[in-house]
Amino acid sequence: MSDQNVFPVDPAFAANAHIDNAKYEAMYEQSINDPEAFWGEQGKRIDWIKPYTRVKNTSFDPHNVSIKWYEDGTLNVSANCLDRHLATRGDQVAIIWEGDNPEEDEKITYRDLHERVCRFANALKAQGIQKGDVVTLYLPMIPEAAVAMLACTRIGAIHSIVFGGFSPEALASRIIGAKSKLVVTSNYSLRGGKQVPLKANVDAAIDDHGASACIERVIVVQRTTKDVAWHENRDVWCHEVCAAASADCPPEEMNAEDPLFILYTSGSTGQPKGLQHTTGGYLVYASMTHEYIFDYHEGDVYWCTADVGWVTGHSYIVYGPLANGATTLMFEGVPSYPDNSRFGRVIEKHKVNQFYTAPTAIRALMQQGEDVLGDSDLSSLKLLGSVGEPINPEAWTWYHRIFGKGKCPIVDTWWQTETGGIMIVPLPGATPTKPGSATRPFFGVQPALVDSEGNEIVGAGDGNLVITDSWPGQSRSIFGDHERFVQTYFSTFKGSYTTGDGARRDEDGYYWITGRVDDVINVSGHRMGTAEVESALVAHPAVAEAAVVGYPHDLKGQGIYVYVTLKAGYEQSDDLMKELRNWVRSEIGPIASPDLIQFSPGMPKTRSGKIMRRILRKIAEDDFSALGDTSTLADPSVVDDLIEHRLNRK
Ligand code: ATP
Ligand code: MG
């Protein structure tokens, strides 16, 4: 391999893995050369009511974007996630729930989960929900979130999950956009020991922000004993309607292309889009990627720390794992409560084998030092995963060392809400890894790099990441706006799906995601991704987090504007600023030398923890009158501080 910093596959891991390198290469080749045969075979991993005879019928032609997989097959998702496991693993734990409070947990078997889902499904019907209706879920990370999702799929209703951290306005716009009749929420949610008034937010969305136009009913889960305002003609308690419902609910027969859910993207770059996913192809893809990428084996305990409000929670807490009959851990709390060792404590307590989290969480823990996990016993871990942003090599090696004790492979999983499942990723028994690279495509995925004119870049190089053909997990449309779907994803580079991300491909064919294409900086004619400069900064001992954007510069076209958050114990100073500038020059080269460095106590982040460079760019441009949609910001006060201390003033 061309790179110095390569982590080879452990032969012992490969020997027991589902996929070793020879298998990867043979299967990948077949998946590309004969997708009909490949996916025709893979489709059998789930149960069909009426088997499909057609496998792939897709077109990326911008005049006729149409994506169909297994189009004449019928199935039910909840039956695949529950009923088909009852005979063999009814008493196996399906969901381990770990509460915000470390004293609180619950183990739910497949049999229990099946019963709860059937009751909930009948309760939804009793509240007037029918096949094709959209149900909004605005819930904390409690078992009812998974129960409500599966209950929707059981009766053919479409769920639209809105992350419980969103404001009443953001919730209302998503309810209205999806024309949803019913919301499921809880009276409060618990995070880090604090109660968050979810039900009051729902009331505000309905009464003050226009969601009354469609909402008829609110089902309320009682999470805490604290009182809550009640509307007799609108609200019902979840435990009451479920107790009154029958535990017998036959699964609805759904076509493979019937909608399964709508999900709004996390909102890093602009107006959120309600992406629509369908039933058959999505489940095949979620289940297959979960098994192979996490190398899940019977009996393993698997933990993904995402929230079900994001696509990661959909595909890799609920649908993928449960379709595979796995034991999936669901965590209500936050990594810093009761203290920063919580992730380690939960891994130890439940003997977690696969652990899947985000770079933002890793960087936050890294700031706390090497002994952040205390004396937690992490010996059960076999594999680590990362998702959501490029993982800086510095954070990758820390994760590998502190969580993985140097022995666990890391799967850096690149994908999007739009893709439904993981797309570019090392397979742990097959692919040597390089810190910071998502490495190679998953089966059936054909990535390509194109320049701004749409010419394909061959061999090593840098460009816009596109996908040239369809895969089963792909989103089929934007809910209610197919034209926007076509415009956004299929009109820029004709015949391909445009990801909006930039990437570099190295001599070994490995992909390195360089950041969003919109964030690429052009300094004196040199194009630069944000990820590389940020990673160089994060590698400096004083830097906890860094974000890089371009701003108009008279001589260079664009200058490099850097926002830096320091680790505890470091003070901002002119000397440190000089040092950081020199550091980047020596790590990358003079071309990447920052022009302006602003120290900031925090970064503007989405609720899913991603840095919103769009806002940082506006501030760097000294043009913050129109920051765009900021409803997905986790902490809007960060923005005020950034504006106050901005360095570029016209
Ligand atoms: P919006 O589309 O509304 O701006 P978003 O793109 O943040 O929001 P998601 O679909 O949750 O919403 O995130 C997908 C994006 O996250 C990818 O396009 C990519 O930029 C980034 N991403 C996810 N995983 C990785 C990864 N492993 N490496 C690099 N980037 C990643
Ligand atoms: Mg996106």
* Assigned token pair, 303: 């933990």
* Assigned token pair, 378: 């992490």
Torsions phi, psi of 370, nearest 5?
Answer: -65, -30
Residue 300 resides in a domain: no
Neighbours of 556 (CB within 10 A): 17
167: part of which helix (H) or strand (E)?
none
Half-sphere exposure (Cβ direction) of 279: Cα atoms closer than 13 Å: 33
Residue 476: Cβ-neighbour burial (10 angstroms; 0-12, 13-18, 19+)? buried
Residue 73 resides in a domain: no
Residue 548 resides in a domain: yes
* Buried residues in 294-305 as b, exposed as e (16+ CB within 10 A): bbbeeebbbbbb
ipTM strictly over 0.95? yes
CA geometry: angle 210, 215, 216, nearest 5 deg:
135
Residue 7 resides in a domain: no
The annotated binding site for ATP is made up of 388-390, 412-417, 501, 516, 527
- Closest-approaching ligand to the CA atom of 610: 1
**Helices and strands of the chain, counted as H and E runs:** 21, 31
* Assigned token pair, 54: 């057609």
192: part of which helix (H) or strand (E)?
none
Atom number in ligand 1 closest to CA 425: 27
* Assigned token pair, 158: 């479409």
Residue 97 resides in a domain: no
Of the chain, the end-to-end C-alpha distance in Å amounts to 48
Residue 45 resides in a domain: no
- The protein residue with its alpha carbon nearest to ligand 1, atom 13, reads 416
In whole angstroms, give the CA distance from residue 446 to residue 463.
15
Task: Report CA 470 to chain centroid distance, whole Å.
Answer: 20
Whether the Cβ atoms of residue 327 and residue 355 lie closer than 8 Å to each other: no
Expressed in angstroms and rounded, the spacing between residue 232 Cα and the centre of ligand 1 is 41
Neighbours of 61 (CB within 10 A): 12
Q: List CB contacts of 559: < 8 A, sequence separation 6 or more.
A: 523, 550, 551, 552, 553, 595, 596
Task: Report CA 207 to chain centroid distance, whole Å.
Answer: 31
- The protein residue with its alpha carbon nearest to ligand 1, atom 29, reads 390
Angstrom distances, CA of residue 436 to CA of 395, 426, 479, 495: 9, 11, 34, 29
* Assigned token pair, 360: 């933002």
Look at residue 387 and give its three-state secondary structure: strand
In whole angstroms, give the CA distance from residue 264 to residue 212.
20
- Closest-approaching ligand to the CA atom of 265: 1
Give the chain's residues under pLDDT 50: none
In whole angstroms, give the CA distance from residue 465 to residue 385.
22
pLDDT of residue 268: 66
Mutate to test the pocket of ligand 1, among 304, 312, 415 (most ligand atoms within 8 A of CB): 415
Q: List CB contacts of 51: < 8 A, sequence separation 6 or more.
A: 73
* Assigned token pair, 260: 């399964």
* Buried residues in 358-375 as b, exposed as e (16+ CB within 10 A): bbbbbbbbbbbeeebbee
pLDDT of residue 3: 63
Expressed in angstroms and rounded, the spacing between residue 213 Cα and the centre of ligand 1 is 32
pLDDT of residue 261: 98
SS3 content of the chain, % helix, strand, coil (to 5): 35, 25, 45
Tokens 């949803």 map to which residue?
A: 180
Q: Over the chain, what is the mean pLDDT?
A: 95
CA nearest to 44, candidates 257, 323, 252: 323
Strands 497-505 and 511-516: antiparallel
In whole angstroms, give the CA distance from residue 314 to residue 263.
9
CATH number reported for the structural domain that contains residue 629 in this entry: 3.30.300.30
The annotated binding site is made up of 191-194, 312, 388-390, 412-417, 501, 516, 524, 527, 538, 540, 543, 585
- Closest-approaching ligand to the CA atom of 425: 1
Whether the Cβ atoms of residue 388 and residue 360 lie closer than 8 Å to each other: yes
- The protein residue with its alpha carbon nearest to ligand 1, atom 28, reads 390
- Closest-approaching ligand to the CA atom of 612: 1
Whether the Cβ atoms of residue 275 and residue 299 lie closer than 8 Å to each other: no
Expressed in angstroms and rounded, the spacing between residue 84 Cα and the centre of ligand 2 is 34
The annotated binding site for Mg(2+) is made up of 538, 540, 543
Residue 554 resides in a domain: yes
Expressed in angstroms and rounded, the spacing between residue 498 Cα and the centre of ligand 2 is 11
Q: State the residue range of the domain holding 633.
A: 524-645
Q: Where are the alpha helices (DSSP H) in 156-279?
A: 168-178, 198-208, 238-244
- The protein residue with its alpha carbon nearest to ligand 1, atom 16, reads 388
- The protein residue with its alpha carbon nearest to ligand 1, atom 7, reads 268
Whether the Cβ atoms of residue 519 and residue 337 lie closer than 8 Å to each other: no
455-469 tens-digit pLDDT: 999 999 999 999 999
Angstrom distances, CA of residue 59 to CA of 29, 52, 449, 540, 595: 21, 19, 20, 47, 45
Whether the Cβ atoms of residue 54 and residue 71 lie closer than 8 Å to each other: yes
Residue 145: Cβ-neighbour burial (10 angstroms; 0-12, 13-18, 19+)? buried
Angstrom distances, CA of residue 533 to CA of 373, 392, 521, 567: 29, 10, 10, 18
Whether the Cβ atoms of residue 344 and residue 111 lie closer than 8 Å to each other: no
Q: List all residues whose CB is within 6 A of at least one atom of ligand 1.
A: 265-269, 272, 310-311, 387-390, 412-414, 416-417, 438, 499-501, 513, 516, 610
| Number of structural domains the chain divides into | 1
pLDDT of residue 2: 62
Expressed in angstroms and rounded, the spacing between residue 416 Cα and the centre of ligand 2 is 6
CA nearest to 69, candidates 416, 475, 635: 475
Q: Where are the alpha helices (DSSP H) in 4-105?
A: 11-16, 21-33, 35-42, 77-78, 84-89
CA nearest to 442, candidates 415, 423, 429, 428: 423
Look at residue 108 and give its three-state secondary structure: strand
* Assigned token pair, 449: 């790099």
Residue 553 resides in a domain: yes
* Assigned token pair, 458: 């061959």
